[in-house]
């Protein structure tokens, strides 16, 4: 089933609540379409340039490419492609894939996050799984539970904490990764903050913009970019092995600590390794690249999506059964009310309108021991009132009769 909404403004803001997986595609049209299993599982309306979509099952959505996307809740996985407006997401319980977007701000992602071709700034809160970034204007992320891989970042790149390993290459701005649980491997970047890694630190063509400190549980292997005019380096090796191959220097020291200075020592770099420390251009081959990242951008529905779909279908069946039971109970109540009040109560709307709200309520006689209305009776009356089958005064009269 496809819901189609012709919108009145070319650059709408799309507000989405999704209780399953959602694939969002920007297209060159002035329509919003939602393809979903059944029509009752989605609502789609427009109000003052805002489009509101609530989807109770997995769906495919197409929107004008100039739209801005705001997602309050995504209970499954979410894919967003070809959106020129901003993207704001409060929570995604599954995976998040964004490809061909402008800027994005996401507060929480339960699964993996993969972002490609983001022309603007990307701001992420917590990512429960892995984080993959392939071409972005800039990125900030508070925490990554798994591994983090990044390539071709036009501005600054900062991640406060990475639980697994880290790989990156070609970051134009400053790179700041405060803590990495495993190995840190990178090429062609400038460190802007101190770095702590539980494993090795291996960086090819490293440059500095200010004083930094590197701490590694394993080895530290660096080569320096040609732009580094000079530095004062304090080298500390837990493995008692330090080697420096730089310009005309070739130094090998079997010691725990060694100070090395070259050129104009504008910056101070402190390096502490649990293993060996190796510095020099000839060591570039020991640092691998990020590699092919294309396999991370396929949309995969999480197991949570299927669980949510099953629960929605189960809840729908229970609701249908409850409505049927209420209808049966309704017939019983109708008979009781007709008998006790001395007039006929039809459920047809035209007949109900004939009941005068000012009519006196005759006394009701009920069987001994029966006190008040049952929950089903109250539910039935409220449903009749909600469906506008009876008025408020008529509902109150029924309640008084049943409570007598």
Sequence spans of domains, the chain: 2-286, 303-403
Assigned token pair, 247? 């310009």
CA 395, CA 346: separation in Å to the nearest integer? 14
Dump pLDDT digits (tens) for 127-177. 999 999 999 999 999 999 999 999 999 999 999 999 999 999 999 999 999
The Cα 192–Cα 209 span in angstroms is 6
Residues of the chain with pLDDT under 50: 304-305, 343, 345-371
The answer to whether residues 195 and 186 touch, using CB atoms and an 8 Å cutoff, is no
How far, in Å, CA of 372 to CA of 33, rounded?
49
How many angstroms separate the CA atoms of 374 and 330, rounded?
12
Helix (H) or strand (E) holding 369: none
Q: What is the 3-state secondary structure (H, E, C) of 129-166?
A: CCEEEEEEEEEEEEEECCCEEEEEECCCEEEEEECCCE
Whole-model pTM over 0.75: no
Q: How many residues does the chain have?
A: 404
* Residue among 16, 117, 106 at smallest CA distance from 67: 16
Say what the pLDDT of residue 315 is.
57
């Amino acid at each position: 089933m496809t819901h189609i909404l012709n919108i009145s403004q070319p650059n709408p803001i799309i507000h989405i609540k999704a209780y399953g997986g959602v694939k969002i595609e920007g297209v060159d049209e002035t329509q919003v379409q939602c393809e979903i299993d059944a029509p009752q599982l989605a609502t789609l309306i427009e109000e003052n340039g805002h489009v509101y979509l609530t989807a109770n099952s997995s769906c495919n959505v197409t929107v004008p490419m100039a739209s801005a996307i705001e997602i309050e809740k995504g209970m499954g996985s979410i894919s967003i492609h070809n959106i020129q407006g901003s993207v704001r997401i409060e929570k995604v319980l599954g995976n998040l894939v964004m490809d061909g977007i402008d800027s994005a701000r996401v507060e929480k992602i339960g699964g993996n996050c993969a972002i490609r071709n983001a022309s603007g700034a990307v701001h992420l809160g917590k990512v429960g799984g892995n984080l993959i970034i392939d071409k972005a204007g800039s990125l900030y992320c508070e925490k990554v539970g798994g591994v983090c891989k990044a390539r071709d970042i036009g501005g600054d790149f900062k991640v406060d904490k990475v639980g697994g390993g880290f790989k990156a290459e070609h970051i134009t701005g400053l790179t700041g990764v405060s803590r990495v649980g495993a190995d840190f491997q990178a090429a062609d970047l400038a460190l802007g903050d101190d770095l702590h890694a539980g494993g090795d630190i291996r960086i090819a063509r490293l440059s500095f913009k200010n004083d930094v400190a590197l701490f590694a549980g394993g080895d530290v292997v660096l080569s320096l970019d040609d732009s580094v005019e000079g530095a004062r380096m304090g080298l500390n090796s837990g493995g008692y092995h330090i080697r420096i191959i730089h310009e005309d220097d070739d130094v090998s020291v079997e010691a725990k600590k060694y100070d090395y200075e070259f050129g104009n020592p504008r910056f101070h770099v402190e390096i502490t390794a649990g293993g060996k420390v190796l510095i020099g251009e000839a060591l570039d081959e020991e640092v691998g690249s990020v590699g092919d990242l294309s396999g991370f951008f396929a949309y995969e529905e999480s197991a949570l999506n299927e669980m949510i779909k099953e629960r929605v279908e189960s809840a729908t069946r229970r609701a249908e059964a409850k409505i049927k039971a209420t209808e049966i109970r309704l017939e019983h109540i109708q008979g009781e009310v007709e008998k006790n009040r001395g007039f006929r109560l039809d459920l047809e709307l035209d007949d109900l309108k004939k009941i005068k709200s000012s009519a006196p309520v005759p006394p009701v006689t009920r069987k001994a021991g029966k006190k008040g209305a049952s929950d089903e009776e109250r539910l039935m009356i409220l449903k009749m009132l909600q469906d506008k089958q009876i008025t408020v005064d008529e509902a109150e009269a029924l309640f008084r009769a049943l409570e007598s």
